[in-house]
């Protein structure tokens, strides 16, 4: 999840979305480099130095950190007591987790081979979407630009998720009724995300 470095209250949604994209590029480059040096001493420092030499991947405004994972368990745990359910967008989290469970049940019981590979990609996207929503919860109320940037990335990922599930449906016509039901629920999450964006913009 994103840490406290997101304190640039003067940034608009476009600046935030651009920075979120850069974060994703940094993470993708990191995991592409990792297999080549995973057994080397100091592989983390080696990868970071290599990424630091790529101007497009250097964080904006001279931020020295490349990745912003927050390992504070207390921050994660605050979303599981009852109070998190009253936060704006909580319904999105509940829906994504419900759809994810349905999807993983289908994945485990019905898919094999190339379908299984596509299915696992969808499972990863469900996890990413849940993380995005928690990031929205974690964002201070006044930082609408960051929330809007996160919601825009969510919409892109929801579209990608529908694409993956449709591809599985083309390969396995027998699963089409169940997959259509999953897509319909995802579209509902998408519509609610758009509603939340419009509310923030107003």
Residues 83 and 168 in one domain: yes
Domain boundary residue, one of 43, 71, 99: 71
In the chain, how many domains are there?
2
Residues 72-96 have a mean pLDDT of: 66
Q: Tell me, what's the pLDDT at 92?
A: 92
Of the two residues 150 and 49, the one the predictor is more confident about is: 150
Mean pLDDT of the chain: 79
Can you read off the two tokens belonging to residue 99?
């759809």
88: Cβ–Cβ under 8 A, 6 or more apart, which residues? Answer: 196
Residues 39 and 137 in one domain: no
Residues 43 and 88 in one domain: no
Only one residue has tokens 């990868």, namely 47
Domain boundary residue, one of 23, 48, 71: 71
Residues 107-133 have a mean pLDDT of: 91
- pLDDT tier at 82, thresholds 50, 70, 90: low
Residues 105 and 188 in one domain: yes
Whether residue 194 contacts residue 155, with contact meaning beta carbons closer than 8 Å, is answered with yes
Rounded CA separation 124/28 (Å): 14
Give the domain range for residue 30. Answer: 1-71
Residues 100-118 have a mean pLDDT of: 90
Residues 94 and 191 in one domain: yes
């Amino acid at each position: 999840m994103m840490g406290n470095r997101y304190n640039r209250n003067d940034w608009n949604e476009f600046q935030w979305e651009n920075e979120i994209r850069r974060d994703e590029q940094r993470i993708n480059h990191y995991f592409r480099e990792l297999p080549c040096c995973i057994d080397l001493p100091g592989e983390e420092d080696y990868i970071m130095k290599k990424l630091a030499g790529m101007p497009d991947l250097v964080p904006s405004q001279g931020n020295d950190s490349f990745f912003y994972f927050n390992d504070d368990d207390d921050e994660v745990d605050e979303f599981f007591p009852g109070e998190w359910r009253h936060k704006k967008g909580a319904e999105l989290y509940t829906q994504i987790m419900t759809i994810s469970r349905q999807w993983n049940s289908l994945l485990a019981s019905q898919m094999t081979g190339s379908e299984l590979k596509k299915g696992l990609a969808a499972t990863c996207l469900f996890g990413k979407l849940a993380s995005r929503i928690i990031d929205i919860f974690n964002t201070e109320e006044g930082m609408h630009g960051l929330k809007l940037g996160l919601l825009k990335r969510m919409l892109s990922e929801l579209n990608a998720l529908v694409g993956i599930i449709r591809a599985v449906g083309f390969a396995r016509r027998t699963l089409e009724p169940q997959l259509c039901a999953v897509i319909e629920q995802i579209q509902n999450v998408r519509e609610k995300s758009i509603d939340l964006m419009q509310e923030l913009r107003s």
